């Protein structure tokens, strides 16, 4: 599923937290935010898409999830934080190349074509991975190892990147063909940008096959590379992106421009992104996977990057100037996003309230990000009781309505959107500060229920108020608006 991922190490953030984030860019999937209790986690899992059946461990933890409201295509839990304060987002669809996919084919479900034949069961994929992994891990590294074991046993039917974070570490795993994989610990001082491509541009094989401090991979990866003549690198350097990834014309329109815009935002001083002396352009194949940002990053920076549409450049589809390049590159904030989540694990608060999930539904360009505490046994109805029918009674549909009404009237409505997003961010942070202090002082962590309800009440007020204003603007600008004095 086309998505955009940003990962932030603890020394790159303003408050020492780790953050993993991703836009879940489906096809207008209706999503919700729920809590899954251990009693509700199935003992045996069966995938709708691949039909694979997997026995699950006996003691799952509680976790949050953003599943699809319509279960016909499976759960698609997308992202969440568990009771051990481990976050996960799955998956970022990535690219590969024919050499890799021929050497280790994807494990795709095939229905029997003739009587007497059996179906060929497929591997695991985005539909399944959060449910199979998140309830059973107590660190980001454990997440890599559990997922790796599942990939090696069952395989996967798609190429994916998956992120994990805990209080101290962020890890990124990328699949290689049907069964192989590699994973890196994100440097504490760095931010990773991943726009639907195989991203890692460096990997220490000596560490992966030695101490395994910051690099992990399939046990036979060296042999797999050598036997299938996959190494395209020169001069002894090992660049996994060149070995396992792609450099296609489609990448240059759909993927690399997103990395360019995010890199431009992160390091405007330490790298040149524009002009004849630019180190990197929108179609560069060598944009770094990890960058040390010129300044520390807050949640608002992550939300901004995941909402962008090349503003300030010739490629902005909403520009009033005809640059000849408007809309030529795929924006990060797009219309069909179902949910965007920023899983933040903090270290400056007591353990029971370290996990905060910032959730944003619909097109991030026009939606607000709402924080909620994840150490709770139930999410407010405004987030969890989402219907398939349009309604203003939940955050998902309110966000979708605002986006659809604003897009055709961007110039008239964008100021209202900025006020809306800022109001939710300000009051959201204020309530977090208030309840952080109250819970730290009293030790009453059941207050997460009260805090989340207040956060959702606030979001509902701001969303309805903004929807009223945007609807009026859109109504005034309808094509069938006439006055008697018109000539």
Which residue ranges form the domains of the chain, and what is each CATH number?
A: 4-365 (3.60.60.10), 380-479 (no CATH)
**Residues 254-297: pLDDT tens digits?**
999 999 999 999 999 999 999 999 999 999 999 999 999 999 99
Answer for the pair 266, 276: CB distance below 8 angstroms, yes or no: no
Distance CA 368, CA 307 (A): 10
Burial of 296 (0-12, 13-18, 19+ CB in 10 A): middle
Do 66 and 80 meet the contact criterion of CB atoms below 8 Å apart? yes
Higher pLDDT, 484 or 192: 192
Query: What residues are labeled active site?
Result: 3
Take residue 244 and report the two structure tokens written for it: 């396992």
Instruction: With a cut of 80, say whether residue 44 has pLDDT above it.
Output: yes
3-state secondary structure (DSSP) of residue 391: coil
| 3-state class percentages of the chain: helix first, strand second, coil last, to nearest 5 | 35, 20, 50
pLDDT over threshold 70, residue 130: yes
First to last CA, the chain: 50
- DSSP for residue 384: H
Whether the predicted pLDDT of 487 surpasses 80 = no
Cβ contact 312:16 at 8 Å: no
Position 115 scores a pLDDT of 87
Q: How far, in whole angstroms, is CA 420 from its chain's centroid? A: 22
The tokens describing 87, both together, are 């976050």
State if pTM tops 0.85.
yes
Question: Does an H or E element contain 180, and which?
Answer: strand 180-185
Q: What is the CA radius of gyration of the chain?
A: 23
Can you tell me the distance from the alpha carbon of 386 to that of 393, in angstroms, rounded to the nearest whole number? 8
Q: What is the dihedral of CA 457, 463, 465, 466, to 10 degrees?
A: 160
Per residue in 121-138, is it b (16+ CB within 10 Å) or e — as a string?
Answer: bbbbbbbbbbbbbbbbbe
Residue with tokens 């792609």: 246
**What is the mean pLDDT of the segment spanning 54-80?**
97
């Amino acid at each position: 599923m086309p998505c955009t991922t940003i990962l932030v190490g603890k020394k790159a953030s303003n408050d020492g937290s780790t953050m993993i984030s991703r836009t879940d860019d489906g096809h207008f999937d209706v999503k919700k935010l729920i809590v899954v209790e251990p009693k509700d986690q199935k003992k045996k899992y069966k995938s709708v898409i691949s039909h694979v059946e997997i026995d699950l461990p006996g003691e799952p933890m509680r976790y949050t999830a953003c599943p699809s409201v319509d279960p016909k295509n499976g759960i698609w839990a997308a992202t969440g934080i568990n009771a051990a304060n481990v976050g996960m987002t799955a998956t970022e669809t990535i690219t590969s190349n024919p050499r890799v996919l021929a050497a280790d084919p994807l494990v795709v479900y095939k229905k029997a074509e003739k009587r007497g034949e059996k179906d060929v069961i497929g591997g695991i994929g985005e539909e399944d991975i959060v449910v199979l992994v998140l309830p059973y891990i107590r660190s980001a590294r454990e997440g890599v190892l559990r997922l790796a074991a599942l990939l090696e046993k069952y395989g996967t039917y798609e190429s994916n990147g998956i992120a994990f974070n805990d209080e101290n570490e962020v890890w990124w795993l990328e699949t290689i063909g049907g069964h192989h994989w590699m994973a890196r610990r994100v440097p504490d001082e760095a931010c990773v940008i991943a726009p639907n491509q195989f991203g890692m541009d460096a990997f220490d094989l000596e560490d992966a096959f030695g101490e395994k401090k910051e690099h992990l991979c399939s046990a036979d990866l060296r042999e797999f590379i050598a036997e299938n003549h996959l190494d395209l690198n020169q001069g002894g350097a090992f660049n996994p992106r060149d070995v396992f990834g792609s450099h296609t014309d489609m990448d240059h329109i759909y993927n690399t421009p997103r990395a360019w815009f995010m890199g431009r935002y992160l390091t405007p001083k330490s790298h040149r992104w524009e002009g004849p002396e630019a180190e990197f352009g929108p179609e560069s194949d060598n944009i770094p996977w990890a960058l040390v940002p010129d300044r520390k990053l807050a949640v608002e920076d992550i939300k901004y990057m995941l909402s962008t549409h090349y503003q300030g450049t010739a490629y902005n589809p909403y520009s009033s100037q005809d640059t000849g390049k408007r809309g030529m590159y795929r924006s990060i904030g797009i219309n069909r996003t179902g949910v965007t989540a920023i899983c933040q694990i903090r270290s400056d608060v007591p353990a029971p309230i370290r996990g905060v999930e910032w959730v944003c539904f619909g097109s991030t360009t026009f939606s607000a990000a709402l924080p909620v505490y994840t150490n709770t046994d139930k999410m407010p109805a405004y987030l969890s009781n989402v219907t398939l029918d349009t309604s203003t009674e939940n955050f998902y549909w309110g966000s979708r309505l605002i986006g659809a009404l604003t897009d055709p009237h961007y110039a008239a409505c964008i100021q209202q959107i900025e006020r809306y997003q800022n109001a939710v961010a300000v009051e959201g942070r204020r309530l977090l500060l208030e309840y952080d202090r109250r819970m730290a002082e009293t030790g009453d962590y059941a207050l997460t229920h009260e805090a989340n309800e207040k956060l959702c009440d606030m979001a509902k007020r701001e969303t309805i108020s903004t929807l009223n204003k945007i609807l009026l603007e859109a109504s005034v600008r309808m094509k069938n608006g006439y006055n008697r004095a018109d000539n």
